[in-house]
Amino acid sequence: MVFDDLVKVTSGFQEGGLPVLIEPIKSFNKLTETNQLPWQEYVPTIKKVVDEFLLNTGGILFRGFTGGKGDSKFCNAFAQMFGEQLLTYDFGSTPRTDLGEGVYTATEYPAHQIIPLHNEQAYTLNWPMRIWFHCVTAPQSGGETPIANSREVYKHIPLAIRERFESKKLLYVRNYGNGLDLPWETVFNTDSKDQVERYCQQNDIGFMWKDDDELRTWQKCQATAQHPITKDWVWFNQAHLFHVSNIEPAAREALLDVVELEDLPRNVYYGDGIEIEESILQEIRGVLDQQTVSFPWQEGDFMMLDNMLSAHGRSSFSGDRKVVVAMARPHTESGSF
């Protein structure tokens, strides 16, 4: 398919079109000498493509629009073309670097670690609806950002598990600092306890200051959610990621030798505080594995996801890798469970 005689549209990664691949018909050999971004002439067409495909498929990969070059400023400019105010990474759960102007590094975990599929900030009642990834440096091998159709995940989760999660909801418990996880000052972007408490009160987050002057929070959240525009139901939580069973067994044993279960950096329970069965989480992980779509990054790639319709993760890799992220369009779920 061709749009406006300017871009070609294909869906060669997976039948059903996630992600849709968009490429310019004109090739870029170098950036323009007028400081004009190389995709500038394509902006109206890119917007048409997004309107046509994003809500249908959940994800779009733009390839070949930067002349094979990547830059964190490109990510800001590409996201800004949609007129979106970019979001800050508040109440985050993983280490990132703020690159300025609404752009962050992707999660800075060691290269050997895999980040399971998840929807951004699905462990809260507030999340971005749109998220952009931009490949600045492609790794030597691996380092993909696998994605999955959250509507299909929802459909393939066994009904008994889905109904159990939907009726009970999920309780996320976090303990900050102590050299085991991000300090609360980083997570809340402040060193003021009063500001932390106000944020928690405004966002239905329970909290307590512990004897070591560190912080524990807990929040009851959704297991599934309905997209505000398409009205589709999606699997939308991070239970499989937050649960202690996500930690490699030897590391888990070592961690539990140091802290009690309730003091783990993060864990998740049913909404009534009862522990979630590991066997159920393994079934959920199996569904996510079955729905995974993966492709190698090329430098200069942009991927735009509807954060509710598509989950994302990260594969292990070798060599240098730099992928940057921007988020927009905040959504708030009711906390009155």
Identical fold between 2-109+127-147+293-332 and 153-287: yes
Residue 31: per-residue pLDDT: 46
Residue 337: per-residue pLDDT: 54
Highest CATH level, class, for 2-109+127-147+293-332: alpha beta
Per-residue pLDDT of the chain (337 residues; tens, 9 = 90+): 887 788 888 876 665 578 999 999 865 544 444 456 677 788 999 999 999 999 999 999 999 888 778 888 899 999 999 998 999 998 888 989 999 999 999 999 999 999 999 999 999 999 999 999 999 999 999 999 999 999 999 999 999 999 999 999 999 999 998 888 899 999 999 999 999 999 999 999 999 999 888 999 999 999 999 999 999 999 999 999 999 999 999 989 999 998 999 999 999 999 999 999 999 999 999 999 999 999 999 999 999 999 999 999 999 999 999 999 999 999 999 765 5
- Secondary element (H or E) of residue 163: helix 159-168
Predicted TM-score of the model (pTM): 0.94
Q: What is the DSSP string of 54-88?
A: HHHHSEEEE-SSSTT---HHHHHHHHHTTTPPBPP
- Give the Cα separation of 147 and 293 in Å (integer): 5
Q: Annotate 185-209 with three-state secondary structure.
A: HHHCCCCCHHHHHHHHHHCCCEEEE
Residue 137: per-residue pLDDT: 95
Residue 69: per-residue pLDDT: 81
- Give the Cα separation of 277 and 295 in Å (integer): 32
- Give the Cα separation of 143 and 113 in Å (integer): 10
Torsion from C-alpha of 9, 13, 17, 18, nearest 10 degrees: -110
Q: Report the CATH architecture of 153-287.
A: 4-Layer Sandwich (3.60)
Residue located via tokens 């492609």: 138
Q: What residues does each domain of the chain span? A: 2-109+127-147+293-332, 153-287
